[in-house]
Amino acid sequence: MPEPLLELHGVSVHFRRGRTLLRAVEEVSFCLELGDVLCLVGESGSGKTTLGRVAAGLLRPTSGSVRYRGQDVWHLPANAFRSFRRAVQIVHQDPYASLNPIRTVEDTLVAPLLHHRIARNRVDAVERAARLLELVDLVPPEQFLPKYPHQLSGGQRQRVSIARALTVGPELIVADEATSMVDVSIRVSLLHTLRRLREELGVAFLFITHDLAMAKYFAWQGRIAVLYLGRVVELGPTPSVIGHPLHPYTQALLAAIPEPDPDLTRQKAKLLLRSLDIPSLANLPSGCPFHPRCLHFVAGLCDVERPLLDAVDGQRAVACHIVQQERTGSDALQSRREAPTSGNDERLSLERG
Amino acid sequence: MSVHNTLPRRQRSVLGLVAAWLADLFRHDKAGFLGLVSVVFFVGLAVLGPLVVPEPGKPDVTKIYQPPSLEHPLGTDYEGRDVLTQVLRGGRSIILVAVLAALLSTAIAITFGSLAAYLGGAVDSVTGLVTDVVLTVPQFPLLVVLSAFVKLDRPWLLALLIGLLSWPTLLRAVRAQVLSLKEREYVEAARALGLSTFHILFREILPNMAPYIVMSFTIGVTAAMYAQVGLYFLGLAPLAGENWGIMLNLAWIRGAIFFKNSVLYILAPVLAIALLQLSLVTAARSLEGLFNPRLRES
C-alpha cells in the first residue's frame, strides 16, 4: 500500500505566553493523497493557520508527527527535509505582505528557479517564470515580469504568490485564506484558477478558510475538517458535511451563512447557541470544548468527558457525545429534548448583527 | 492597463536608474541634490586636494597670524603657513579614516546583527553579550587610554580602533529591524521555497533596510570624524602631517584664539567639518528615493 502524501498524526501545538499555555492545536490527525482537497474551516483562533504552518513544515509541532510519504519530517536528514519543504508550498492570506516590496515579479519568481537549478540559466528562468504567470492567468506575462508588487492589484499579487509557489513544482499547496482578502468580484476567478491548477497539475490542496461558502465552492469533491479551538470536531466529504452537518458547531456555522435574500435569511432556521463567546485558548472548558455554547449540552457528560473523533458511516467522523449516543441508540438525547437540563439555553443566534 | 505598462522588458540598468533618480532629485528635492553635490565636492577635495596643492605651506616667521589677504585668503598660522593650503590638504586623512571606520562598524553591525536576529538562540545570546560589553565601555576615554599604548600614526590603525568601538548601537537597531522583518510572510514563503539563509538575509530582508543602513553609515562617518578630531585636538594622536584636527589643536595650543585676525583661521576647519556633516546627512536622506521602488516613479 502506497504511503499517503502527507499525514498529520496526533499533532498538538502549544505556545507559551508567559505563564499561560495556549493550546492552539490539540491532537489533530488527517492525511492527504496527491490531488486531494481538504478544507480546514473554523473561526479565528481555531488553529487553522497554525495547522497550515505545521503542514508546510514551517512550525514544529509540540507533539505528534508530520509524515511525508511515510517519513517523519522532523526526523529527516537535512537534504530530505529540504525536498519535503519544496513539495509543500504555502500561499498566504495577505496579498500585501506576501510579496517583497523591493523585488520585481521577475526577481521573485526567478530566485527559486535558479537556486534549485530548475532553470539552466537566467534566460531559461525568465522563460519559465513567464510560463508560470500564464498558468495563473497573468497575461501577457511580459507585462507583469518587470512590475513591483505595489504596481499590482490584490488579486494579481495573490496570483504572483501562487506562481511563486508553483516554481518548485509542489505536490501540496497550503492555501491559508488565500482568497479571503481580495475583493469578492476577484475571489471567484481566483478560486477558478486554483481549481484548474488542481485539475491540470494534480496538486493537492489544504484549503484554509473561515468561510463555508468558499469551502463548498472549492472543495466539493474533497473533504472538510471543521476546527473548533484547535480540535477537529467534524470531518467528512464536503457534500455530506454541508448537506447534513452532524456536529452542533458545524450546524451553527452553516446557519450563520447569510443568504443574499434578506427574507430568506430571516426564514432560515436559526440554529442557536447558548453563548456567543469563544472560550479562551489559555483556559479551555473541561470535557467537550464546545459545551458552554452547545444547545444539546448534557450536564455530567459533555462538561466532564472529552468526546473523541469517532467514525460515523465510514467516511465521516464527529467528536460529539450526543451524536454518538444517538447512533448507539441511547435515549439521552430524547430525554433532553423533553426536559431541558437548565434554564440557561437562551436563544442566541450566531447571525452577525 | 495604462500606457506606461508597455515599456520593454528588463530596462533596468543600474546607471539608468541612478541617472533617473538624480534627475528626479534635482526636480523635487533641491536640498538633497545640493547635499549630494557637496558630498561629491568634499570627497573630490579629499582625493584631489593634495594634487591641486602639492606642497604643504612653507613656514615664514615674518608672516605669523596674518589677516586674510589676496595671497593668504584665510590668513596664516603661528608659523606663517597659509591656512587655505592646510584646509584643502587637511580633509584627506580625516575623511579616509572616517569612511574606513564607518565601513568597518557598519559591516560588523549588519553581519552580526542580522545573523543574531535571524538565527536566534546561542548566536543571539553571545552577540547580545558582546554588544552590551562594548556598549558599556566608555569609548572616548578608552580611545584616550589606548592612544597611550598604541601609536596612532597610521590612518588604518585609527580607523580600525574607531570602527571596532562604534558598531553596537547600529547592531542593536539592525537586529531589531531584522526581528520584525523576518516575520513577514514573504520571508516565510522564501523559507518554504527552500532558499538559502544567505539569500533570505541579503536579498530579501536587508535590501528593505537599505535607506536605514545608508543613514546609519553616514552617522557612523560623522561620529568617526568627531572622534578623530577630538583625539587630535586633545593631542592624543601624533600631530604629524596636516589635517583639520591638527589645525584645531595648533590653533588652540599656539594661541591663535587670542588674535582677532585669526578668526577665519580657526573657523575654517570647524566650518569644513560642519559642512561635510550637513551635506552627508542631507544626501543620505535623499537616498531613500533610490532604494524604495514605490518612491522611484514620479
List phi, psi (to 5°) of A24: -70, -40
Read off the pLDDT of each residue in A266-292 and give the average, rounded to a whole number.
77
Specify whether A218 is located in the same domain as A285.
no
Please check whether residue A148 touches B, CB under 8 A: yes
Q: Are strands A310-312 and A6-17 parallel, antiparallel or unpaired?
A: unpaired
List phi, psi (to 5°) of A56: -85, 0
Q: From chain B, pick out residues whose CB is under 8 angstroms from the CB of A111.
A: 190, 193, 195, 199, 203
pLDDT band at A334 (very low <50, low <70, confident <90, very high): very low
Q: Considering the domain boundaries, does residue A115 fall inside one?
A: yes
Specify whether A191 is located in the same domain as A275.
no
Question: What is the pTM assigned to this prediction?
Answer: 0.78
Interhelix angle B210-233/B83-119, rounded to 10 degrees, is 130
Asked if residue A349 has pLDDT above 50, the reply is no
Q: What share of chain B is helix, strand, coil (3-state, %, to 5)?
A: 75, 0, 25
Specify whether A120 is located in the same domain as A233.
yes
B230-284, pLDDT tens digit by residue? 888 888 877 777 888 888 888 888 877 777 777 788 888 888 889 998 998 888 8
Question: In whole angstroms, what is the distance from residue B100 CA to residue B221 CA?
Answer: 8
Question: In whole angstroms, what is the distance from residue A11 CA to residue A203 CA?
Answer: 23
CB contact residues (below 8 A), chain A span 218-257, against chain B: none
| DSSP assignment of B67-99 | PP-SSSTT-B-TTS-BHHHHHHHHHHHHHHHHH
Specify whether A105 is located in the same domain as A249.
no
Please check whether residue B197 touches A, CB under 8 A: no
Specify whether A76 is located in the same domain as A225.
yes
Specify whether A180 is located in the same domain as A312.
no
Return the CATH number at A56. Answer: 3.40.50.300
Specify whether A195 is located in the same domain as A301.
no
Please tell me the CATH superfamily of domain B13-296, with its number: MetI-like (1.10.3720.10)
For Cα atoms B183, A132, A180, give the angle at the middle one, nearest 5 degrees. Answer: 50
List phi, psi (to 5°) of B118: -75, -40
B54-100, pLDDT tens digit by residue? 777 777 777 777 777 777 777 777 777 887 888 888 888 888 999 99
Specify whether A222 is located in the same domain as A255.
no
Please check whether residue A112 touches B, CB under 8 A: yes
CB pairs below 8 Å between A and B: how many?
82
The parent domain of residue A300 ranges over 244-349
Q: From chain A, pick out residues whose CB is under 8 angstroms from the CB of B10.
A: 106, 145-146
Q: Considering the domain boundaries, does residue A106 fall inside one?
A: yes
Please check whether residue A52 touches B, CB under 8 A: no
Minimal CA–CA distance to A41: which of A198, A243, A310, A249?
Answer: A249
B199 and A111 in contact by Cβ < 8 A?
yes
- Which of B186, B196, B294 has the CB atom closest to A100's CB atom? B186
Question: In whole angstroms, what is the distance from residue A187 CA to residue A195 CA?
Answer: 12
Specify whether A116 is located in the same domain as A226.
yes
Q: Are strands A37-41 and A63-68 parallel, antiparallel or unpaired?
A: unpaired
B194 and A101 in contact by Cβ < 8 A?
no
Please check whether residue A140 touches B, CB under 8 A: no
Specify whether A79 is located in the same domain as A13.
yes
Domain count, chain A: 2
- Which of A82, A88, A148 has the CB atom closest to B293's CB atom? A148
What is the ipTM, given to two decimal places?
A: 0.80
Read off the pLDDT of each residue in A266-278 and give the average, rounded to a whole number.
69
